[in-house]
Amino acid sequence: MEERIPQHVSIIMDGNGRWAKARGRERVFGHMEGVESVRACLEYAVEKGIKYLSLYAFSEENWNRPKDEVMTLMELMMKSMKNEIGRFMKYNIRFVVLGNRARLSDSLNAGIDAMMAETAGNTGTTCVVFLSYSGKWDILQAMKKAAASLSAQEIQSLEIQDFDKYLVTAGIPDPDLLIRTSGEIRISNYLLWQCAYTEFYFTDVLWPDFRKPQFQEALDEYARRDRRYGKVK
């Protein structure tokens, strides 16, 4: 079978808490192990020549989780950025964070800005982390941007492709493949506009167990898909 490599793979990383619970551990243990899966999948994306790997790390709805867990997740994000900067530079990876960053702490935003600036010149795989993000929020903020910058007549003539530039993903191609781990079969308010023609791949594997072999299985399934975009072949 000819290998067809998607330009943009996006992953909904799900199942950390269940993975930890099955081992009699606190949920944070699952999140920590999930970082290892991020590292493995990012390295594999670089190896396979995938230009964009995006990760749904924290949704706007996740702010409703217990405060202690939210704090732990944010601290883990800070720690991971500090630990991974050397790896990003070594493998020529660009780092981007997208979402409602107004809800993040000043210290986390400063850390994000520093890592984005340091990796901005890297030209290999772009790692996009969606943090405090939701698809409905993205469409709403895009609509507000468009309304603020366009006249009523210009809004009337706005084309679908013109709307893309108001989304937080402006300049980033839509995902070719969306992977969700843990057996859940939904996209949970993620990239609602951008996933119009994305191929979906759902797996029962929990995120901490999702490594290179499981990633390759998803890529193999993608290669078998016939993407017609509404046309007849």
Active site residues: 14, 62
What is the residue-wise DSSP string for 79-104?
A: HHHHHHHHHHHHTT-EEEEES-GGGS
**Residue 177: closest CA among 204, 215, 139:** 215
How far apart, in whole angstroms, are the C-alpha atoms of residue 81 and residue 218? 27
Report the C-alpha gap between 73 and 31 in whole angstroms: 8
Q: CB within 8 A of 88, min separation 6: which ones?
A: 94, 95, 115, 118, 119, 122, 127
- The tally of CA atoms less than 13 A away on the side-chain side of residue 170 is 13
Contacts of 102 (CB under 8 A, 6+ apart): none
Of the candidates 69, 67, 61, the one whose C-alpha atom is nearest the C-alpha of residue 17 is 69
The DSSP bridge partners found for residue 59 are 133
129: left (phi over 0), alpha (psi -120 to 50) or beta: beta
**Helix 67-90 and helix 27-48, axial crossing angle in degrees, nearest 10:** 30
